[in-house]
Structure 1
Amino acid sequence: MNAVRRLSLVTDEIHPRRPGSLRIAVATQDLKSLNAHFGSAKHFAVYDVTRDGWDFVEAVSFDDVSDETGKHRIEGDDRITPKVNALRGCHLLFCVAIGGPSAAKVVSAKVHPIKVGQPESIQDVLSRTQNMLRTAPPPWLRKVLAQAGAAAKKPFEDED
């Protein structure tokens, strides 16, 4: 069985999202750098990013990760689904690499995967994301922001 641990900051609400924020996950081995493939990431560092700053939301840790050999494991041994489930509520996933089947599962969970070829600090990822929000976001990010805005308004549409 795959053990998943979550380390979250305690607030009055469980993981409140700042208005206009983009929730991102960073695949990491050390909680300091974007330095992991999706399947072999020991952790996801999750942040809410706005034009004005960012807030740490939580760190999600996994015991059973890929060894990156490319070999399939025993039938029924699923390490991907717990990771996809951990990303629920995120808009973007930054990782060094992600395989096609994993990327398809991430996209079906409404998370946009972004492959970054070389490791870099999480601080740099956050700064770059914040800068994209401040300036003219690229088309793919505008689409993510539009979907995030629609999802945030949805619960209130039924109220009179």
Structure 2
Amino acid sequence: MKVAFASSDNNHIDQHFGWAEKFAIWDVQMDQARFAGMVQVQPDGADSEDKIAARLGALSDCAIVYVTQIGGPAAAKLVANKIHPIKSKGEGEETIQEVVEKLQQVLQGNPPPWLRKAMLKDERPT
């Protein structure tokens, strides 16, 4: 499954969803994970609806997005588009690598229902 991280340095989760200009994309599986690239968000207007729409378009094939903060309307739109938002601990305290490793450990055990759904994102009808 593809996982996005709001990151300014491709190392730490340190950006608010609405202000992030780029997201690190990782392909995370139970037994392997690889960096799939950076997605640059093109500014698409000044209001919050435009900012949310631009980020939704850029992250449409992701199942999960990690951020430091996210507003209620943005989180609701992500969920409606089958993308699960997760707030990271602290402002840049967690590294992407740490989170990827924790996510893989959960995948190897008995993932919670929301994560099983996220894993099947591409298989569900839109």
TM-score in same-fold range (> 0.5): yes
**Cα deviations by residue, 1:117-147 (Å, 9 ceiling, x for unpaired):** 31211111111111111111122212322x3
**Which structure has the higher relative contact order (CA within 8 Å, separation 6+)?**
2
Q: Percent identity?
A: 37
The alignment status of 1:61 with 2:40, answered yes or no, reads yes
The alignment status of 1:116 with 2:95, answered yes or no, reads no
The DSSP-based 3-state class of the residue aligned with 1:88 is coil
For 1:98, the equivalent position in structure 2 comes to 70
Bigger fraction of residues in helix: 2
The DSSP-based 3-state class of the residue aligned with 2:50 is coil
The normalised TM-score by structure 1 is: 0.68
- Aligned residues of 1:28 and 1:36 also touching (Cα < 8 A): yes
- Aligned residues of 1:97 and 1:117 also touching (Cα < 8 A): no
For 1:134, the equivalent position in structure 2 comes to 108
- Aligned residues of 1:96 and 1:117 also touching (Cα < 8 A): yes
For 2:60, the equivalent position in structure 1 comes to 88
The DSSP-based 3-state class of the residue aligned with 1:34 is coil
Counterpart CA distance in 2 for 1:62 and 1:126 is 22
1:28 Cα deviation after fit: 0.8
1:99 Cα deviation after fit: 0.2
For 2:121, the equivalent position in structure 1 comes to 148
Report the CA distance shift for 1:38/1:74 in structure 2 as closer, same or farther (over 3 A). Answer: closer
Note the residue ranges of structure 1 that are not aligned, 5 or more in a row: 1-21, 66-72, 155-160
Counterpart CA distance in 2 for 1:27 and 1:52 is 23
1:150 Cα deviation after fit: 2.9
Counterpart CA distance in 1 for 2:23 and 2:65 is 9
Note the residue ranges of structure 2 that are not aligned, 5 or more in a row: none
Counterpart CA distance in 1 for 2:38 and 2:17 is 15
In the alignment, residue 87 of structure 1 is paired with which amino acid?
Answer: L
For 1:13, the equivalent position in structure 2 comes to none
Q: Which has the larger radius of gyration?
A: 1
CA RMSD of superposed structures (Å): 2.4
How many residue pairs are counted as aligned between the two chains? 123
